[in-house]
Amino acid sequence: MTPDDIRKAFLEELVSIAPDIDPDTLEGDEHLQDDLELDSMDILNLVTALHKRLGVSIAEEDYPRIETPDKAVAYLAQRLGG
């Protein structure tokens, strides 16, 4: 997967969990919890959805590494060996 594919997949899952987010105005450095107002249940659901979609299981201690879209894409790319 290219980073663009990963970003697309991440954003789709993010917006599916939090449909109040407008992907067109979303900035890559926005913090999922502080700026986009996801709560901890949303994060758990996002992690589950990403696992299902990309086959990457994200351990609790790695949650800070997906705290913004940019960080998440970099992290997922690394995990996918891309």
Which of helix, strand or coil describes residue 34?
coil
Taking the complex as a whole, how short is the minimal distance between the CB of residue 12 and other proteins, in angstroms? 11
Q: For residue 35, what are its two tokens?
A: 């700026």
Of 3-11, 14-22, 50-58, 74-82, which part binds other proteins (CB under 8 A)? Answer: 14-22
**Applying CB under 8 A, does 63 fall inside the site for other proteins?**
yes
Q: Which of 45, 56, 77, 79 binds other proteins (CB under 8 A)?
A: 45
Cα-to-chain-centroid distance, residue 48:
11
Whether residue 38 contacts residue 32, with contact meaning beta carbons closer than 8 Å, is answered with yes
Q: Which residues bind other proteins (CB under 8 A)?
A: 15-16, 18-21, 33-34, 37-42, 44-45, 59-61, 63-64
